Amino acid sequence: MAATAFSLSSSIDLYHQHNLQLHRNLRHQPPYSKTHIFPHPSSKIFPKSTNLFLTCSSHSSSSPTLQENPLPTGKFLSNPDLQKLKFLENFKIFHKLPSGSMLLIRVMQEQEMDMTVDLLAESFAESMMLPKTYVKLLGFLVKQYLVERRTSMPHAATLIAFHRRDTDEEGGEMEDIQLAGTVEVSFNKLGANVSPPSPTPPKDAPYICNMTVKKSLRRQGIGWHLLKASEELISEMSSVREVYLHCRMIDSAPFNMYSKAGYSIFKTDSLFILLTLQRRKHLMQKQLPPPPSHILSETNMSYENDKNETFLEV
């Protein structure tokens, strides 16, 4: 795939994408609070023997939190939604990559939107084989989309991954922290995209889309970790176990990754989609393990109805 081996192509339509401002240098403008991401270069992020660390504990922070500015003014949130919003705020996963680099995956904060827009716009332009002159236009559309999708929290979330190289034993200077990738996850009908690509997934089922990895950081397993982090988050946020995603038929690398992760083809675009100048896509599905006992019980009736409607589509 042109944009990235891990991109879910066509998940955002062209009219959904958006403008990119100049990418902030992470060394001069850290996009994270000190309680959320990597510590000062002189300290250790976590023990070198640790390959995975998941934490959802509550911390205070001087930077804006998801609860302080998560949704447009005037939108009512129930207590369960507030609890889910707090969970999203504190969700973070650390990985040590085989190369020795460190990876942090967590929910995108408002001040990190511009750099996420930049990454997505460049990825979509590459995927659609558009000239670089179109990146600014795509950036404008992508930002409009991300601003709108942010209002769907806690029923949907955008995850971002930060990458850095590990410090040496003497605590020497660390390389700049980079935004390495992003992925979007919706958990139910309230977080579903209004205009999803075809074949249409059930609206009330969890859905993963718009995954991309920075070009210079591909082939390090970052896409795989974004996918697994999405599944981890879905397991905590939804009682529905069937997860869906799209993959273009021409994208063999992402298809192989999804297949390895347990996804199988649920439905495929008909040939008529070519008349709309779109690439044919697979809708892929995976059954997650049973939900943890603490997950809030939700009725699956609406999900079953949506799934039945999907089966009836031509």
| Domain at 98, CATH number | 3.40.630.30
> Global pTM?
0.74
Helix axes 252-260, 222-237, angle to 10 degrees: 50
Residue 63 within a domain: no
| pLDDT of res. 129 | 87
In a domain, 175, yes or no: yes
pLDDT at position 199 is: 96
User: What whole-number percentage of the chain has pLDDT above 70?
Assistant: 65
**What pLDDT, on the 0 to 100 scale, is given for residue 132?**
87
Task: Give yes or no for a contact between 103 and 95, defined as CB atoms under 8 angstroms apart.
Answer: yes
CA–CA gap between residue 241 and residue 264 (Å, rounded): 14
C-alpha distances in angstroms, 8 versus 46, 106, 299? Answer: 31, 19, 29
Tell whether 226 is covered by a domain: yes
Residue 40 to residue 33: CA distance in whole angstroms: 12
Q: Rounded to whole angstroms, how far apart are CA atoms 137 and 170?
A: 45
Kindly report, residue by residue over 169-226, the tens digit of the pLDDT: 555 565 678 999 999 999 999 999 988 999 999 999 999 999 999 999 999 999 999 9
Q: Is residue 272 part of a domain?
A: yes
Domain presence at residue 71: no
What is the model's pLDDT at position 127? 87
Structural domain includes residue 8: no
How open is the CA angle 12-15-19, to the nearest 5 degrees?
90
Would residue 258 show up in a list of annotated catalytic residues for this protein?
A: yes
Residue 43 forms part of a structural domain:
no
Q: Which residue has the higher pLDDT, 173 or 120?
A: 120
- Match 């939108």 to its residue by tokens: 75
Q: Among the options 32, 145, 258, 263, which is catalytic? A: 258
**Residue 239 lies in domain:** 14-31+49-57+78-312
At 300, is the pLDDT very low, low, confident or very high (cuts 50, 70, 90)?
Answer: very low
* pLDDT score at 163: 95
Q: Does 282 have pLDDT greater than 50?
A: yes
Residue 310 and residue 172: Cα distance in Å, rounded?
Answer: 55
Is residue 293 domain-resident?
yes
Q: Alpha carbon of 191 to those of 38, 51, 184, 252: distances in Å?
A: 30, 31, 11, 29
Report for 126-130, 197-201, 307-311: range of highest mean pLDDT: 197-201
